[in-house]
Amino acid sequence: MQLTRKHLFGVMADAATVMVATAAVAWIGAASASAQALPAEGVDKFITVNGLKLHYLDWGNEAKPPFIMLHGISRTAHTFDHVARRYQKDYHVLAIDMRGHGDSEWDPAAQYLVEDYVKDIEAFVQQLKLKNLVMMGNSTGGRVVQVMAGLHPELVSRIIVEDVGPERPASIANGFAQRVQQERAEDTSWTSEDELFALTKKQNAGVSDAILRSYVKSAVKRRADGRYVWKRDPQLSKGFVVTELWRYIDKIKCPTIYILGGKSTIVPVETQERLKKTIPGVEIVTVPDVGHYPDWEKPAETFAIMDRFLAGRRGSAPSGGR
């Protein structure tokens, strides 16, 4: 049968429609598969930087902007499990065990200054070829992200600092050192993870069991005698010293937010006022009735603040005092 021009154009149009529809179905299927491929838990990975093997949790979604999360002293990457789940659909979340913590190696020379942690993160970012970084740090991890933002404005696009500022006074530094010495003198250990969980729950009233379980499970190891001890280098205290980081804070240019605990005294009012004068457009928000870890004690309120900040929206009235 001879095709007329009209029939020929009709066949071509039908073929094009089928091709477009097929491509659309394939794209939707790929997108669906990609969404389903996100891990339910962070995937354990290791990387060697500055001669030390560091452990980190990769929450997938490599096509999205990287979101690096750094824990506080004596904590681990699993501190952020509940935060990572919240943001893994929109970011490539990477939570790191800093040197001397969790499943990362201990530094044989006990080099645990803030700048030592920063060097590891610099190498980590370089090896994985990361850019346009969103970073979150609580406590000591918050000091690290401040320094990273100051040193690398070309890499860091936005930082969230949880209840810590540029200064670590002697009172805080000495307090941690004394606690570590006491633990070593008393051979602090536990018969089981459940025993430590019960103690941790008593010390952290109001924090969900899921968050505390995740922390306890990742923060201890079983000793040869069967008892459980903290999974951290006792020499961490050698780097937990009086610290002043204003020379780095002076160079921060990216959007920055400090989320403080209303019951905490880590970032006094005078420091908050200096931050406002130093970092362009900085936000300082206080979560009432919580201590040093707002995302643990009031995750919903903390996430609401983070969501707004990550979306590029400013708060109507950021709080500067407590």
Q: What is the pLDDT of residues 191-246, one digit of tens each?
A: 999 999 999 999 998 899 999 999 998 899 999 999 999 999 999 999 999 999 99
Do residues 235 and 106 make contact, with C-beta atoms less than 8 angstroms apart?
Answer: yes
Do residues 211 and 71 make contact, with C-beta atoms less than 8 angstroms apart?
Answer: no
Q: What is the dihedral of CA 60, 92, 303, 162, to 10 degrees?
A: 120
Rg (CA), the chain: 24
Task: Specify the amino acid at residue 318.
Answer: P
Closest by CA to 135, choosing from 81, 78, 96, 89, is 96
- How much is the average pLDDT of 262-291? 96
89: CB partners within 8 A, 6+ apart: 35, 38, 61
Can you give the pLDDT at residue 18?
Answer: 44
Q: Higher model confidence: residue 320 or residue 277? A: 277
Of 21-35, 92-106, 200-214, 246-260, the poorest mean pLDDT is in 21-35
Residue 172 has a CB neighbour count (10 Å cut-off) of 18
Please tell me the distance from the alpha carbon of residue 254 to that of residue 251, in angstroms, as a whole number.
9
Residue 313 has a CB neighbour count (10 Å cut-off) of 9
Q: Which residue has the tokens 């600092």?
A: 161
Classify burial at 154, counting beta carbons within 10 Å of its beta carbon; exposed 0-12, middle 13-18, buried 19 or more. exposed
Please tell me the distance from the alpha carbon of residue 147 to that of residue 274, in angstroms, as a whole number.
16
Q: Which helix (H) or strand (E) segment is 82 a member of?
A: helix 81-87
- How much is the average pLDDT of 77-81? 96
Can you give the pLDDT at residue 157?
Answer: 98
Do residues 50 and 109 make contact, with C-beta atoms less than 8 angstroms apart?
Answer: no
Question: Mean of the per-residue pLDDT values for the chain?
Answer: 88
Do residues 59 and 67 make contact, with C-beta atoms less than 8 angstroms apart?
Answer: no
Residue 159's DSSP bridge partners are: 135, 256
Q: Higher model confidence: residue 112 or residue 2? A: 112
Residue 223's DSSP bridge partners are: none
Of 100-104, 115-119, 196-200, 300-304, the poorest mean pLDDT is in 196-200
Of 9-18, 180-189, 251-260, the poorest mean pLDDT is in 9-18
Does the structure show a pLDDT above 60 at 58?
yes
Please tell me the distance from the alpha carbon of residue 279 to that of residue 145, in angstroms, as a whole number.
14
- Between the alpha carbon of residue 305 and those of residues 133, 297, 312, the distances in Å are 19, 14, 11
Please tell me the distance from the alpha carbon of residue 176 to that of residue 241, in angstroms, as a whole number.
9
DSSP string, 146-181: HHHHHH-TTTEEEEEEES--SEE-HHHHHHHHHHHH
pLDDT class of 10 with cuts at 50, 70, 90? low
Please tell me the distance from the alpha carbon of residue 223 to that of residue 240, in angstroms, as a whole number.
25
Please tell me the distance from the alpha carbon of residue 55 to that of residue 300, in angstroms, as a whole number.
28
